[in-house]
Structure formats: structure tokens, C-alpha cells
Homo-oligomer: A and B are copies of this chain.
Amino acid sequence: MSKKKGFVNDITDIDENFAQWYTDIVLKAELADYTAVKGFIAIRPYGYAIWENIQKYADESFKKLGVENVSMPVLIPESLLSKEKDHVEGFAPEVAWVTIGGEEELEEKLCVRPTSETIFSTMYSKWLSSWRDLPFLYNQWCSVLRWEKETRPFLRSREFLWQEGHTIHETAEEAKKFTLDMLEVYADVIENLLAIPVLKGRKTKKEQFAGAEATYTVETLMHDGRALQGGTSHYFGQNFTKPFDVKFQNRNGEQEYAYQTSWGISTRLIGAVIMAHGDNRGLKLPPYVAPIQVVIVPIAQEKGNVLEEARKLEGKLKEKFRVKLDDRDNYSVGYKFNDGEMKGVPVRVEMGPKELENNEVTITRRDTFEKVTVSLDNLEEEIEKLLKDIHTNMFNICKERMTNKTTVAHNMDELKKNLEENQGYVKTMWCGSQECEDKVKELTGAPSRCIPFEQEHISDTCVCCGKKADTMVVWGRQY
């Protein structure tokens, strides 16, 4: 049964139809919109500002690890895409091909990049000569195309924005370490910026990136208990450097192929933020990624010096926070409250004639709707504390959900039952065969999420075939 009121009449109840609720939020909070090109979205200013904040945070972290940004061509010749066997098999079915340029049929068709391992490897082959040149730690922020059949804004678009890092190293050990270091960066972004706890682990061979030797992942859990892959980091060994001839003179004077990684996060994370935190009032944004951290709503703004004081307050708070003064004169205060809630603004500051008399304001937090009265004298410190507290509270709510929705299964019946009743993550033992993995997915709709770094001994036998097993896998239905 839905409990809708006022402004939020427009959005579907989150527990009645989560998919529709999601679409409603994307459109009503003005994060993105559909376009004239099927499967392609327009990211609107409010949605893009979230992405800019993710970019800024992640880019700073990359640079601390010595990563430099570059720009590689958006088009890749078919012959290059085809050089690594697994890679082309994985990507060729879902690319878009440019066949005409400048009114002429091209001699070789060019695909719009779905990912750029092939281009980076080609350039690395040109630029690398000695071990002294290594490592190359390059990244690009760009858009990529994958011709998906079913699309959903942010979650699965034919075009999405992302960053793709590509590095080459002198030794396998160094490359492996870098792969894992980058996974930690992603965990940090998702937990400390987006307030979503992650499950860290390695993908099974079946689920790993086309052409990779190992894929590591940070998995997140949404409101409805379905999983979403937050970011992945791949170790390639020499899988690309051999066919692309990326070699160097090593310390012993011999020619050696370099060791490679790649890693990416995308605008899917905006989808994760919506689905991990939102509620029936709309979006609920984690404070540190929110484009507007504080909205000031003047009460009876036409009276006395309310608007003037509100503007002064805006100026003052802007030095420390991302602030918006909602001084629109054609909307009621109630509408503005609902609008701020729909947009997920963490903190609302109300300022009216009465408050002004007492040199105070009323603050409402978006996560709990708790109200407090605060003196203007220490407002900044209070807001700073509040933002921190909201972040922690939002993280903890997700963490608790993850705990409640993580179960254990010893056999297929338990696994099916757990997923039916609870969705979420189900831990089981697994023999390691792809046969069993395929069967689990077929019978439950849940692929493996990962082989968590933190292993537990649940039983001695595989959840599927009953044979001896010593690896714990987590399963879960996904976005």
C-alpha cells in the first residue's frame, strides 16, 4: 500500500515497483532524460554535477598513485580490435561501426570504442623501449559505446561515461599490486564518497573481463537486495602485450613483454547512489557527493528582511559548503521542501521572521527528517557535524542491509530459497567448475558476484555438485 503525499504523488512507491520508482526518480529529480537516439540518455546538470564530484574525488586519488590523464582516439580499426582473441569475442557483438567518413565508404570499418585496451596497447608498443620507461600509468575520462538490447538510464546505456585506466609494468608482481591498489581506490570512492559499503573479491573465470587473467571487483547491494558491480580492476599479465608487441629491454638486457592492468568506474555509480539510498520522498544523496549540500528555504520571504538575511547566510555558508538559496517567488514553502527532498539535498535550513528574531534557524536532515534549532553563531560547525553524521548514518543503513541480506546456503534448495525470500548475497562453497556456476545461474537467476577476499569455511562440499570444495563464492541477482 502506498503512502503518497503532495508533490511525491508523481513517484511510484519504492516497495511496490522498484523499477518504476527508479525511473521516476531519474526523471523527476532531473538527473537524466531519454533522447531521440534509442538507448542513449542526456545527463542533465543535476546528474552531471554528481558525476563531476565523483570524477574530482577519484581523479585526485589516481594522481596520488602517479596516474596521468591522456586522450586516445574514439574509433578503433577492426583489425586492432581483433588482435586479442578473447577480447574481440567479448566485445565485437556489441559495438557500433563507422563505415562512412566524409561521404566515402571506409576501406576498413572503425568501431566506436567499447573499451580501449587495444588502442593503449598499440601506443605503448610505440612508446616503450627500456625498463627505465616503466611504469606507464595512464587514464582517460571519456564515453564508450556498447550496443545493449535492453537499456536503463545510468545502469545500462548504449553510451556511458567512465574512466578507463591502462597501465604497464616491469614485473608481474608490480602489475598485480597495482591492480589491487586501484581496487582499494574504488572501495574508498564508493564507501567514503558514496556511503555504500562494498564486498571485495575476485571474479570467477566466467565473469572476468574479456582478455583478462584476473578481474577484481567491488560489489554493492541495492535497496531491493539486488547487487550492482561498483568498479572492476583487471590484471592482464602479458595477454595483450604479446599480440601487441609491447616489449622492453629489461635489467638483464633481454627483451621482455610488459605486464598490464586496466580498471574502470562509470556513471553506473549514479544508478547505485539512487538505488542504495533513495526512498519514497525521492533521491537521498550522500553529503560528500551531493551537488547541493545545503538548501536554504526562506519562510515568508516577502516579509521584512528575511530574503536579505537569507542571501547573507547563503554567502557565508558558500565558503564552506555547496549551498543553494531557494528564493523562487512562484512556489510555496511546502513545494520547496518537497523539491529539496526529491533532489535528496542532505540538509535544509529554514529561515523565517521568528527565527531571525532569535538569531537562529531550523535545520532538517534528509536522512531522518529530524529537526533541530541552531544558533546562527555556530551554524557552520553544526552543519559540518551534521553532514558527517548523515554520511555515517547512510553508510550504516546500507551496511545493516548488507548484513541482513547476506545468507549462507549448503545446497541448491537453500540457495534458491534464500534468493527467493531475501535476494541479497548468498555465500556457498563451490568446486570451481564452470558447469556448476552455469547451473546455479540457470536455476536461480543469480550469477556469481565474486570469490570474496575474506574467505569462510561453510562446508566441505560444492553447493551444486556436492563434490569436495574449498572456495567460498558469493551469488546474487544483479543490475
Chain A contact residues, CB within 8 Å of chain B: 33, 35-37, 40-45, 48-49, 51-52, 68-77, 80, 92-103, 109-110, 112, 119, 122-123, 126-127, 132, 138, 142-143, 145, 147-149, 158-159, 161, 330
Please name 8 further chain A to chain B contacts, defined as beta carbons within 8 Å, in addition to the given A93-B102, A97-B99, sorted by A numbering: A33-B127, A36-B77, A36-B80, A40-B74, A43-B70, A43-B71, A97-B100, A132-B330
Q: Which of A35, A44, A127, A161 has the most CB of B within 10 A?
A: A35
Contact yes or no, A70 B98, CB < 8 A: no
A147 to B, closest residue via Cβ: B102
| Least Cβ–Cβ distance between A268 and chain B, in angstroms | 14
Contact yes or no, A69 B49, CB < 8 A: yes
Q: Which of the residues B40, B44, B119, B123 comes within 8 Å of A73, measured between beta carbons?
A: B40
Contact yes or no, A97 B96, CB < 8 A: no
Contact yes or no, A73 B126, CB < 8 A: no
Q: Which of the residues B44, B72, B112 comes within 8 Å of A70, measured between beta carbons?
A: B44
> Which residues of the partner chain B approach A76 to less than 8 Å between Cβ atoms?
37
Q: Which of the residues B68, B110, B145 comes within 8 Å of A37, measured between beta carbons?
A: B110
A-B pairs with beta carbons under 8 Å apart, 23 shown: A36-B77, A37-B77, A40-B74, A40-B75, A42-B119, A42-B123, A43-B70, A48-B71, A49-B69, A52-B69, A71-B143, A74-B74, A74-B143, A74-B159, A93-B103, A95-B101, A95-B102, A96-B101, A96-B102, A97-B100, A99-B99, A102-B148, A102-B149
Contact yes or no, A48 B70, CB < 8 A: yes
A74-B112, A94-B102 known; A35-B119 Cβ under 8 A: yes
> Which residues of the partner chain B approach A75 to less than 8 Å between Cβ atoms?
37, 40, 96, 145, 159
> Which residues of the partner chain B approach A148 to less than 8 Å between Cβ atoms?
102
A52 to B42, CA, bound (A): 24
> Which residues of the partner chain B approach A40 to less than 8 Å between Cβ atoms?
73-75
> Which residues of the partner chain B approach A80 to less than 8 Å between Cβ atoms?
36
Contact yes or no, A122 B73, CB < 8 A: no
A220 to B355, CA, bound (A): 56
A145 to B, closest residue via Cβ: B74
Q: Which of the residues B70, B93, B100, B161 comes within 8 Å of A99, measured between beta carbons?
A: B100
A120 to B77, CA, bound (A): 30
A41 to B72, CA, bound (A): 7
A51 to B112, CA, bound (A): 23
A96-B98, A101-B96 known; A73-B35 Cβ under 8 A: yes
A51 to B109, CA, bound (A): 30
> Which residues of the partner chain B approach A94 to less than 8 Å between Cβ atoms?
102
A143 to B71, CA, bound (A): 10
> Which residues of the partner chain B approach A93 to less than 8 Å between Cβ atoms?
102-103
A33-B126, A36-B122 known; A42-B98 Cβ under 8 A: no
Contact yes or no, A123 B69, CB < 8 A: no
> Which residues of the partner chain B approach A35 to less than 8 Å between Cβ atoms?
72-73, 119, 122-123
A93-B103, A123-B42 known; A48-B68 Cβ under 8 A: yes
> Which residues of the partner chain B approach A123 to less than 8 Å between Cβ atoms?
33, 35, 42
**Complex A-B, nearest 10 residue pairs according to Cβ-Cβ distance, in ascending order:** A102-B147, A45-B68, A40-B73, A43-B71, A97-B100, A96-B101, A101-B147, A99-B99, A96-B98, A37-B73
> Which residues of the partner chain B approach A33 to less than 8 Å between Cβ atoms?
123, 126-127
> Which residues of the partner chain B approach A70 to less than 8 Å between Cβ atoms?
42-45, 48
A109 to B99, CA, bound (A): 10
